[in-house]
């Protein structure tokens, strides 16, 4: 491979708009009034609001790899924040981190030395999934607020330990489900909660890429350190690294954690010694027979990263950059009682139907209009700093993290066991 198109990030809407076919299978509502925000939305708005408060906040980072560095970039956009110390087992990360910060960050080869420091106000953890609990639990015990990357833990037992420790320590804990802070997703989900597409019965989610998911390794001895996502010891593969975000949004839409999981996966393209599958399929069951289906493949990026929420009145498409509603045709246009005078009052209805031969709708949708389409990670990190400063409970708290972890870990168990796994609530 020596070339790749850079402008691939067409949204589903743009793709849909590119065709000249039309269908009346769906109709677009042109003027939809956003419902008043819930208490949760008010809290999210407060936490993500632009701030001029710049009281010093010293962060310690455990795990200074690519995600840790990306978090640091976002944290450094919050007034008053400084990265004071970092811990990692790979020395090159400290050089990279210093470059990102523009100053020298105190380096520790052992995270316990970092936690022993007295000059840190909060801890950020961006280590491989298999190490999350090992790092989050002592960080909480050290008496500092913690921002922990998703998935919250590698096992359900560890996830529950984190929930218990947050309660015991009375500390702030925020999990890295940053889409909970995305302005367009929050705006869309508020409308879903207000019933705009009816009850959400199905969520179909895709996160497809066309690359090997491998990182360059300067020395073969570093393979498992750098490409940890490909090995079972630290990783639950695509289900965790990509699917956990979508499963979190499904939990949000269903207002429930899943009660059962089925999953499959295989290595069909990259027979390069990896242990985690290069394609996965997950079905989560929710109360009332509702379902979420997540699929991920790594050799075709056509569907990209997107979710569809389906209800009987319409659909919602969520992407990394936007949200778009589509509406089912209103079949019943008139419903009235006909006065017959004989005591019987039959309901007379009329309906319109435009035959579309069940062709998919390929017209435009109704985009969710928002004033500020901010990067979700930038918003999430600012929200965390707000919570540390004010002691307010984060939106993406330990219970949000547990819900997603229940889905991820159970789905992986189902994939391995090749059977449905019930999820204890």
Partner 1 sequence: MGTIFTIECYAPDSDTADRILTAAFDEIDRVEALLSNYQPSSELSRISREAGNGPVVTDPETFRFLTKSFYWSQRSHGAFDITVGPLLRAWGFKAKNGHVPTQAEQKLLRDEVGWDKVQLDPATHTARFTTRKPMELDPGSIGKGFAVDSVVALLRESGVHAAFISAGGSTLYALGAPPGETGWPIDVPDPRTPGSVAATLLLHDTSLSTGACTEKFFMQNGHRYCHIFDPRTLMPVEGVLQSTVVAPSATDSDALSTVVFVLPPEQSRELLRGMRATQAILFRSVPGAPTCVVFAVPESICDTHAPSPQKGVRP
From CA 249, how far away is CA 255, in angstroms rounded?
Answer: 10
Rounded to the nearest whole angstrom, what is the least distance from the CB of residue 315 to partner 1 in the complex?
Answer: 23
Among 36, 102, 341, 355, which residue sits at the site for partner 1 (rule: CB under 8 A)? 102
Nearer to partner 1, 11 or 281 (CB): 11
| 299 lines the binding site for partner 1 (CB under 8 A) | no
- In angstroms, the Cα distances linking 133 to 12, 126, 159 are 37, 11, 7
| 378 lines the binding site for partner 1 (CB under 8 A) | yes
370: buried, middle or exposed (CB in 10 Å: 19+, 13-18, 0-12)?
middle
Which residue, chain included where needed, has tokens 């001895």?
221
Dihedral through CA 112, CA 113, CA 119, CA 121, nearest 10?
-20
Cis peptide, bond prior to residue 299, ω within 30 of zero = no
Among 329, 374, 392, 421, which residue sits at the site for partner 1 (rule: CB under 8 A)? 374
Nearer to partner 1, 54 or 266 (CB): 54
Among 373, 393, 413, 421, which residue sits at the site for partner 1 (rule: CB under 8 A)? 373
39-48 and 183-193 helices, crossing angle to 10°: 170
Nearer to partner 1, 101 or 146 (CB): 101
| 302 lines the binding site for partner 1 (CB under 8 A) | no
Nearer to partner 1, 7 or 20 (CB): 7
Do 365 and 16 form a contact (C-beta atoms < 8 A)? yes
| 91 lines the binding site for partner 1 (CB under 8 A) | no
From CA 261, how far away is CA 276, in angstroms rounded?
Answer: 18
Nearer to partner 1, 73 or 117 (CB): 73
| 214 lines the binding site for partner 1 (CB under 8 A) | yes
| 272 lines the binding site for partner 1 (CB under 8 A) | yes
Specify the stretch interacting with partner 1 by CB under 8 A; choose among 49-57, 157-165, 261-269, 361-369: 49-57
Rounded to the nearest whole angstrom, what is the least distance from the CB of residue 54 to partner 1 in the complex?
Answer: 8
- What residues have CB less than 8 Å from 417, skipping those under 6 apart? none
């Amino acid at each position: 491979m020596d070339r790749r198109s850079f402008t691939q990030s067409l949204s589903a809407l743009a793709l849909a708009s590119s065709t000249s076919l039309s269908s009346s299978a769906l109709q677009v509502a042109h003027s939809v009034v956003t419902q008043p925000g819930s208490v949760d939305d008010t809290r999210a708005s407060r936490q993500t609001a632009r701030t001029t408060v710049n009281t010093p906040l010293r962060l310690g980072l455990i795990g200074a790899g690519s995600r840790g560095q990306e978090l640091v970039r976002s944290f450094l956009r919050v007034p008053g924040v400084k990265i004071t110390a970092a811990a990692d087992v790979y020395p090159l990360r400290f050089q990279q981190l210093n470059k990102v910060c523009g100053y020298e960050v105190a380096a520790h080869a052992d995270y316990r030395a970092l936690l022993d420091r007295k000059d840190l106000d909060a801890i950020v953890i961006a280590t491989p999934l298999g190490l999350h609990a090992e790092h989050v639990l002592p960080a909480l015990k050290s008496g500092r607020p913690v921002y922990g990357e998703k998935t919250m833990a590698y096992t359900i037992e560890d996830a529950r330990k984190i929930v218990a420790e947050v309660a015991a320590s009375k500390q702030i804990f925020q999990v890295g489900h940053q889409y909970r802070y995305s302005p367009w997703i929050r705006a869309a989900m508020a409308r879903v909660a207000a019933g705009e597409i009816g009850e959400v019965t199905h969520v179909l989610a895709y996160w497809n890429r066309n690359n090997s998911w491998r990182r360059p390794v300067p020395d073969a001895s570093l393979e498992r350190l750098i490409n940890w996502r490909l090995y079972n010891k630290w990783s639950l593969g695509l289900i965790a690294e990509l699917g956990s975000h979508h499963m979190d949004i499904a939990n949000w839409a269903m207002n429930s954690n899943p009660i059962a999981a089925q999953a499959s996966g295989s290595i069909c393209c990259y027979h390069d010694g990896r242990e985690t599958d290069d394609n996965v399929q997950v079905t989560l069951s929710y109360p009332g027979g509702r379902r979420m289906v997540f699929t991920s493949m790594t050799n075709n990026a056509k569907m990209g990263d997107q979710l569809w929420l389906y209800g009987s009145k319409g659909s919602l498409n969520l992407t990394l950059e936007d949200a778009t509603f589509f509406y089912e045709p209103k079949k019943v246009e008139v419903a009235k009682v006909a006065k017959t005078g004989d005591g019987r009052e039959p309901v007379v209805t009329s309906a319109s139907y435009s035959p579309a031969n069940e062709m998919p709708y390929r017209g435009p949708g109704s985009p969710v209009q928002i004033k500020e389409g901010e990067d979700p990670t930038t918003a999430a990190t600012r929200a965390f700093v707000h919570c540390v400063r004010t002691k307010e409970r984060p939106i993406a708290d330990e219970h949000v993290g547990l819900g997603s972890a229940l889905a991820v870990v159970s789905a992986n168990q189902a994939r391995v066991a090749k059977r449905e796994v019930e999820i204890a609530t």
